[in-house]
């Protein structure tokens, strides 16, 4: 794709460069074609995983925190899910899945049209082709008694998925500009450094119970409107009018989802879990809440320090214990939907996010905090990832240790703990020790640099690349290609590979074959075995009907019609579609389709056109492509 867009520039230099990249990549590919993606599981282990995955009486799902995988009895799981539904603002939907999805889609199209996006091409980035209904599933809270569930709703490919992304981009800065905003634990650590305390100070954390579904929608939207009106930089992010943004938000908030046993529910209040807009909207609402009830000058309670990371708040209190209790009850009485759980410091210690905070004299001393349920599992050294990526993980952890630990003894303890953990994850001891030893000098340099204004060097480095390739990681091959591509100013990012979690956690309902979309597919003739190869972003079912209609209407540009017209005793095997590729990106799908058509003998296929032009240098891989296609046909 990088090559194509280079050629579209059109000047001889770019065209030559494109060809250079092509020749290099195809050469590397030739060398690397027989290399296999590495797996760190034995055949027996894979067999056991397959059997667990097929058991119908259990559900395998991720734990709420700490990277563990939970196996739960299916009946229990469903019961826990309905408990969540009963506690929230949900009612059973009265309309069908299709009616509900079409309804939202049409509202969205009408709104975009009214904003002047009259051409389909203008609307396309904000719409989802062949949308699907959201699914509710549970994460199990392994650190709480009786292992309750936390509801998650997967909204990927919901009709509003794309427009939500755009609205989130517009709203995020309003949340980030709020007084109580914590970006991450490093940001919080910097703020904690500045606090002076005395013996009467109290530390506590507050947690807002199931925040997103409890945000009062009507009030929250009013807050968003006010924040947009007060935002002087809005014009830099969008040309859209505030009224239009608000109408789009209302369309996006309408949420329906399916349960694991197939029922559809509609959310009647609160922000949908799993939609990207819920984050900034809840944030903007809470900033209003804090300004109105806590930071306002007439409020008798004045927390000395109050900062918030989504639904977690950290407080330093200086007005005494009795007042602290009263303050808590005051908070609980403000808005019936917003409820807090308070955790007070114990023996002068308060864990918050991943920071262990301890009072020591007149200041707060910190170190790294880990929940007991943390599995201490990181990507295994022997897993299928580039070594530089795996090194990045340990370096990140070590950096965090240096940043968050104030006292040398805490840091030493943390580093020795990290050494054990990474050795347990199969990292070579010698390497781990070396990285840790080198970290001292590096971190000192970094902390000096932090005092100075942030250099733009890092940013420039990223944007230097002309394009970035995403490919699966293959040991030995990937490193080479990466090095050579860098010379052409093309970056490379390894794609996420298969994990055990991905292999056995199937929480989303399987989509029936003909309802699947984004495929390169083939149909064949029942009598002469000729193939038709096509690609579609729509659901396969709709694409099939279009073909069948074209045949019925005698459309001369349809390959099936032409084939059946010249061979009038032949018939197409419509009931048997074979999927050759699964690709969301339209342009990549077109390229994959063309590569396959190009690899076939012309007598083998009934396609009338070859599709996108394919560069000759790929021809030598045609036998390999034919092999891959043959394997797909059999499976
Ligand atoms: Zn035929």
**Cα separation, 250 vs 11, whole angstroms:** 47
- Rounded to the nearest angstrom, the distance between the alpha carbon of 565 and the centre of ligand 1 is 10
What integer is the mean pLDDT of 327-352?
Answer: 94
pLDDT in tens, 238-268: 999 999 999 999 999 999 999 888 899 999 9
pLDDT in tens, 402-416: 999 999 899 999 999
What integer is the mean pLDDT of 590-609?
Answer: 88
- Rounded to the nearest angstrom, the distance between the alpha carbon of 259 and the centre of ligand 1 is 44
Q: Are 517 and 628 members of one domain?
A: yes
State yes or no: pLDDT of 456 exceeds 50.
Answer: no
Query: How many CA atoms lie less than 13 Å away from 236 in the CB half-sphere?
Result: 4
- Rounded to the nearest angstrom, the distance between the alpha carbon of 153 and the centre of ligand 1 is 46
- % of the chain residues with pLDDT over 90: 48
- Rounded to the nearest angstrom, the distance between the alpha carbon of 528 and the centre of ligand 1 is 4
- Rounded to the nearest angstrom, the distance between the alpha carbon of 570 and the centre of ligand 1 is 5
- % of the chain residues with pLDDT over 70: 87
Would residue 118 count as lying in a domain? no
- Rounded to the nearest angstrom, the distance between the alpha carbon of 569 and the centre of ligand 1 is 8
Q: Are 440 and 481 members of one domain?
A: no
- Rounded to the nearest angstrom, the distance between the alpha carbon of 576 and the centre of ligand 1 is 15
Q: Which of residues 55 and 174 earns the better pLDDT score?
A: 174
- Rounded to the nearest angstrom, the distance between the alpha carbon of 524 and the centre of ligand 1 is 8
- Rounded to the nearest angstrom, the distance between the alpha carbon of 623 and the centre of ligand 1 is 24
What is the model's pLDDT at position 469? 65
Would residue 72 count as lying in a domain? no
Q: What is the dihedral of CA 289, 292, 293, 299, to 10 degrees?
A: 160
**Cα separation, 131 vs 112, whole angstroms:** 17
Q: Are 541 and 613 members of one domain?
A: yes
Would residue 95 count as lying in a domain? no
Of the candidates 239, 210, 222, the one whose C-alpha atom is nearest the C-alpha of residue 284 is 222
Of the candidates 502, 182, 151, the one whose C-alpha atom is nearest the C-alpha of residue 354 is 182
Q: How confident is the model at residue 630 (pLDDT cuts 50, 70, 90)?
A: confident
Query: How many CA atoms lie less than 13 Å away from 12 in the CB half-sphere?
Result: 0
152-161, 355-364, 439-448: segment of lowest average pLDDT: 439-448
- Rounded to the nearest angstrom, the distance between the alpha carbon of 41 and the centre of ligand 1 is 45
- Rounded to the nearest angstrom, the distance between the alpha carbon of 167 and the centre of ligand 1 is 50
Q: Are 530 and 499 members of one domain?
A: no
State yes or no: pLDDT of 499 exceeds 60.
Answer: yes
Would residue 422 count as lying in a domain? yes
What integer is the mean pLDDT of 561-580?
Answer: 92
Q: Which of residues 33 and 232 earns the better pLDDT score?
A: 232
- Rounded to the nearest angstrom, the distance between the alpha carbon of 240 and the centre of ligand 1 is 53
What is the model's pLDDT at position 450? 65
**Cα separation, 134 vs 97, whole angstroms:** 10
Instruction: Confirm if 326 and 333 have CB atoms less than 8 A apart.
Output: no
pLDDT in tens, 18-69: 777 777 777 777 766 566 555 666 777 777 777 777 777 777 777 776 667 7
- Rounded to the nearest angstrom, the distance between the alpha carbon of 290 and the centre of ligand 1 is 71
What is the model's pLDDT at position 623? 85
Mean pLDDT for the chain overall: 85
Q: What is the DSSP letter of 255?
A: -
Instruction: Confirm if 420 and 378 have CB atoms less than 8 A apart.
Output: no
Of the candidates 348, 350, 358, the one whose C-alpha atom is nearest the C-alpha of residue 407 is 358
Would residue 526 count as lying in a domain? yes
In terms of residue numbers, what domain contains 448?
387-452
Q: How confident is the model at residue 468 (pLDDT cuts 50, 70, 90)?
A: low
- Rounded to the nearest angstrom, the distance between the alpha carbon of 607 and the centre of ligand 1 is 12
37-51, 96-110, 179-193, 352-366: segment of lowest average pLDDT: 37-51
- Rounded to the nearest angstrom, the distance between the alpha carbon of 529 and the centre of ligand 1 is 6
- Rounded to the nearest angstrom, the distance between the alpha carbon of 215 and the centre of ligand 1 is 60
Instruction: Confirm if 365 and 372 have CB atoms less than 8 A apart.
Output: no
- Rounded to the nearest angstrom, the distance between the alpha carbon of 391 and the centre of ligand 1 is 56
- Rounded to the nearest angstrom, the distance between the alpha carbon of 619 and the centre of ligand 1 is 27
Q: How many domains does the chain have?
A: 3
Where does 184-233 have alpha helices with state H? Answer: 185-193, 211-214, 217-230
> Residue 235 has which token pair?
């014009």
Q: How confident is the model at residue 457 (pLDDT cuts 50, 70, 90)?
A: very low
223-232, 353-362, 583-592: segment of lowest average pLDDT: 583-592
Would residue 554 count as lying in a domain? yes
Q: Are 465 and 565 members of one domain?
A: no
pLDDT in tens, 262-307: 899 999 999 998 899 999 999 999 999 999 999 988 888 999 999 9
What is the model's pLDDT at position 461? 43
State yes or no: pLDDT of 318 exceeds 50.
Answer: yes
Would residue 403 count as lying in a domain? yes
CA 522 vs CA 205, 347, 539, 561, 593: distances in Å: 58, 68, 14, 15, 10
Q: Are 475 and 392 members of one domain?
A: no
- Rounded to the nearest angstrom, the distance between the alpha carbon of 615 and the centre of ligand 1 is 30
> Residue 28 has which token pair?
């590397």
Q: Are 532 and 628 members of one domain?
A: yes
What is the model's pLDDT at position 112? 97
What integer is the mean pLDDT of 180-197?
Answer: 92
What is the model's pLDDT at position 460? 42
Instruction: Confirm if 81 and 260 have CB atoms less than 8 A apart.
Output: yes
Q: Are 469 and 484 members of one domain?
A: yes
Q: Are 567 and 552 members of one domain?
A: yes
Q: Are 494 and 533 members of one domain?
A: no
What is the model's pLDDT at position 6? 58
Instruction: Residue count of the chain, please give it.
Output: 635
- Rounded to the nearest angstrom, the distance between the alpha carbon of 622 and the centre of ligand 1 is 24
Of the candidates 29, 19, 175, 17, the one whose C-alpha atom is nearest the C-alpha of residue 620 is 29
Of the candidates 324, 311, 288, 278, the one whose C-alpha atom is nearest the C-alpha of residue 209 is 311
What integer is the mean pLDDT of 445-463?
Answer: 53
Which segment, 189-198, 221-230, 378-387, is predicted with the most confidence on average?
221-230
Q: Are 526 and 574 members of one domain?
A: yes
What is the model's pLDDT at position 8? 59
- Rounded to the nearest angstrom, the distance between the alpha carbon of 517 and the centre of ligand 1 is 26
- Rounded to the nearest angstrom, the distance between the alpha carbon of 152 and the centre of ligand 1 is 49
Q: Are 559 and 615 members of one domain?
A: yes
291-295, 531-535, 597-601: segment of lowest average pLDDT: 597-601
Q: How confident is the model at residue 612 (pLDDT cuts 50, 70, 90)?
A: confident
Would residue 497 count as lying in a domain? yes
Show which of 441, 470, 504 is a domain's final residue: 504
- Rounded to the nearest angstrom, the distance between the alpha carbon of 558 and the centre of ligand 1 is 14
What is the model's pLDDT at position 463? 44
State yes or no: pLDDT of 462 exceeds 60.
Answer: no
CA 209 vs CA 87, 90, 178, 284, 331: distances in Å: 12, 17, 21, 17, 13
């Amino acid at each position: 794709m990088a090559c194509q867009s280079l050629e579209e520039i059109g000047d001889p230099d770019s065209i030559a460069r494109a060809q250079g990249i092509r020749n290099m990549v195809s050469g590397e590919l030739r060398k690397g074609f027989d290399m296999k993606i590495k797996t760190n599981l034995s055949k027996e282990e894979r067999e056991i995983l397959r059997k667990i995955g097929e058991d119908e009486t259990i559900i395998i799902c991720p734990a709420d925190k700490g990277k563990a995988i939970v196996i739960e009895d299916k009946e229990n799981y469903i019961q826990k899910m309905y408990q969540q539904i009963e506690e929230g603002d949900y009612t059973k939907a009265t309309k069908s899945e299709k009616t509900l999805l079409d309804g939202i889609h049409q509202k969205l199209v009408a709104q975009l049209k009214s904003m002047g996006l009259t051409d389909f091409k203008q609307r396309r980035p904000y719409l989802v082709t062949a949308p699907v209904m959201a699914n509710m599933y549970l994460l199990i809270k392994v650190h709480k008694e009786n292992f309750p569930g936390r509801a998650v709703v997967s909204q990927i490919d919901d009709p509003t998925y794309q427009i939500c992304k755009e609205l989130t981009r517009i709203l995020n800065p309003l949340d980030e500009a709020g007084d109580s905003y914590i970006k991450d634990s490093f940001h919080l650590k910097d703020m904690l450094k500045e606090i002076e305390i005395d013996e009467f100070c109290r530390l506590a954390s507050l947690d807002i119970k199931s925040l997103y579904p409890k945000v009062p929608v009507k009030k929250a939207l009013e807050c968003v409107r006010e924040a947009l009106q007060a935002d002087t930089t809005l014009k830099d992010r969008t040309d859209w009018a505030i009224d239009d943004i608000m109408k789009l938000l209302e369309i996006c908030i309408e949420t329906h989802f399916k349960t694991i046993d197939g029922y559809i529910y509609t959310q009647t209040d609160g922000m949908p879990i799993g939609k990207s807009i819920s984050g900034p909207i809840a944030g903007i609402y809470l900033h209003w809440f804090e300004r109105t009830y806590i930071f306002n000058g007439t409020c008798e309670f004045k927390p000395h320090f109050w900062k918030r990371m989504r639904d977690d708040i950290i407080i330093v209190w200086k007005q005494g214990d009795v007042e602290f209790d009263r303050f808590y009850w005051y908070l609980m009485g403000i808005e019936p939907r917003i409820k807090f759980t308070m955790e007070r410091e114990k023996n002068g210690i308060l864990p918050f996010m991943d920071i262990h905070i301890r009072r020591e004299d007149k200041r707060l001393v910190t170190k790294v905090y880990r929940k007991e349920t943390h599995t201490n599992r990181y990507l295994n050294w022997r897993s299928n990832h580039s070594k530089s990526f795996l090194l990045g993980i340990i370096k990140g952890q070590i950096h965090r240790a240096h940043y968050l630990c104030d006292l040398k003894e805490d840091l030493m303890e943390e580093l020795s703990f990290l050494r054990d953990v990474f050795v347990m994850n199969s990292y070579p001891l010698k390497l781990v020790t070396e990285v840790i030893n080198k970290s001292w000098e590096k971190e000192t340099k970094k902390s000096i640099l932090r005092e100075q204004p942030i250099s733009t060097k890092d940013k420039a480095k990223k944007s230097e690349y002309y394009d970035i390739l995403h490919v699966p990681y293959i040991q030995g091959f990937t490193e080479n290609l990466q090095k050579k591509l860098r010379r052409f100013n093309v970056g490379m990012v390894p794609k996420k590979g298969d994990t055990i979690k991905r292999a056995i956690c199937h929480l989303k309902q399987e989509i029936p074959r003909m309802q699947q979309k984004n495929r390169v597919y083939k149909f064949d003739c029942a009598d002469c075995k000729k193939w038709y190869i096509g690609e579609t972003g729509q659901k396969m079912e709709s694409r099939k009907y279009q073909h069948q209609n074209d045949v019925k209407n005698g459309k001369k540009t349809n390959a099936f019609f032409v084939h059946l017209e010249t061979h009038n005793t032949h018939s197409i095997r419509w009931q048997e579609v074979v999927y050759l590729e699964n690709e969301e990106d339209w342009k990549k799908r077109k390229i994959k389709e063309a590569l396959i058509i190009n690899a076939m003998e012309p007598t083998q296929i009934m396609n009338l056109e070859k599709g996108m032009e394919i560069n000759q240098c790929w021809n030598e891989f045609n036998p390999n492509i034919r092999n891959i296609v043959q394997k797909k046909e059999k499976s």
